[in-house]
């Protein structure tokens, strides 16, 4: 992969960046995403944020090789602390991290005022999507749309959220499955949750071999299987 040919996952995330955006891509993976958008003239300015020196150096090299100095900057720092007020960042992408970590990054940035001028969040969690959805609605970000895709036998969800004065009410199923994803309920969605059922069935078999009191845990797992089966039937 390079800045000219993004993965399907990053290409999909990039498609939600509005033309003329001032972008901060956190955990930027060689700065591929901001470089790709800058080369197409789709962003005004981009930050490739990295917390580890090695990936930061790789991002700097990629920006230089793409001749995008001045349009895209690599910055070393933890989460959203790479954003300065004079950057006028209005769009943040965070792709390829756990949902719990993304929520913590957003939470720290929220406390520091890093999200004050942000108009759009484009988030691709690798897991814990429910926790991330809770963080968004708890902090007045409306989930505008979601998409699910498969690449190299892995399934990814992408969540697009924007600040709102009042957010829509979500059900417990909306938080778990995604309001928009469960509305569409495409084949990839069904495959993901069929796989989750298999994981819960494995847990169930393991519990049944345990000598401890597992009645409560077993009931919890059986309930999750029931909820998923009801959703995808």
Query: Does the pLDDT of residue 24 top 90, yes or no?
Result: yes
Contact 162, 121 (CB under 8 A): yes
Nearest to 170 by CA among 35, 151, 161, 14: 161
Model confidence at 220: pLDDT above 70 = yes
CA distance 221 to 218: 5
**Structure confidence at residue 2 (pLDDT):** 60
User: Which residue has 């891509």 as its token pair?
Assistant: 25
Give the integer Cα–Cα distance in Å for 90 and 109. Answer: 14
Length of the chain: 233
pLDDT band at 3 (very low <50, low <70, confident <90, very high): low
**How far lies 6's CA from each of 2, 56, 142, 153, in Å?**
6, 19, 27, 17
Long-range contacts of the stretch 116-120 (C-beta < 8 A, 24+): 117/88, 117/89, 117/90, 118/89, 118/90, 118/91, 118/92, 118/163, 119/90, 119/91, 119/162, 119/163, 120/16, 120/17, 120/18, 120/21, 120/90, 120/91, 120/92, 120/160, 120/161, 120/162
Query: What is the three-class DSSP state of 162?
Result: strand
- Non-local CB neighbours of 215 within 8 Å, separated by 6+ positions: none
- As a whole number of angstroms, the distance between CA 76 and CA 230 comes to 46
Please give the mean pLDDT across all residues of the chain.
Answer: 96
Pairing of the two strands 21-26 and 43-50: parallel
CB 119 within 8 A of CB 162: yes
Alpha carbon 53 to its chain centroid, in Å, reads: 22
Please write the tens of the pLDDT for every residue from 171-187.
999 999 999 999 999 99
Distance CA 34, CA 28 (A): 8
Q: What is the pLDDT of residues 58-114, one digit of tens each?
A: 999 999 999 999 999 999 999 999 999 999 999 999 999 999 999 999 999 999 999
Retrieve residue 61's tokens.
């090299």
For the whole model, what pTM was predicted? 0.95
Residue 138 pLDDT more than 80?
Answer: yes
Residue 1 has pLDDT above 60, yes or no: no
pLDDT at 5 over 90: no
């Amino acid at each position: 992969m390079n800045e000219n040919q993004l993965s399907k996952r990053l290409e999909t995330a990039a498609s939600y960046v509005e033309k003329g955006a001032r972008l901060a891509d956190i955990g930027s993976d060689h700065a591929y995403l901001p470089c790709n958008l800058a080369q197409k003239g789709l962003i005004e300015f981009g930050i490739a944020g990295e917390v580890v020196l090695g990936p930061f150096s790789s991002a700097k090299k990629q920006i230089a090789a793409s001749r995008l100095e001045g349009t895209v900057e690599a910055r070393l720092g933890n989460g959203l602390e790479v954003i300065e007020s004079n950057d006028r960042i209005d769009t943040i992408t965070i792709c390829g991290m756990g949902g719990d970590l993304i929520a913590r990054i957003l939470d720290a940035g929220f406390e520091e005022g890093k999200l004050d001028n942000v108009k759009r969040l484009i988030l691709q969690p690798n897991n814990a999507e429910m926790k991330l959805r809770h963080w968004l609605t708890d902090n007045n970000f409306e989930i505008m749309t979601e998409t699910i895709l498969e690449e190299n036998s892995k399934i990814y969800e992408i969540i697009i959220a924007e600040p709102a004065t009042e957010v829509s009410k979500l059900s417990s199923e909306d938080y778990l499955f995604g309001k928009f994803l469960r509305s569409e309920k495409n084949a990839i969605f069904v495959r993901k949750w069929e796989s989750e059922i298999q994981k819960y069935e494995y847990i169930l078999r393991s519990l049944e071999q345990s000598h401890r009191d597992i009645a409560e845990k077993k009931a919890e797992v059986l309930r999750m299987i029931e909820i998923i089966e009801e959703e995808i039937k």
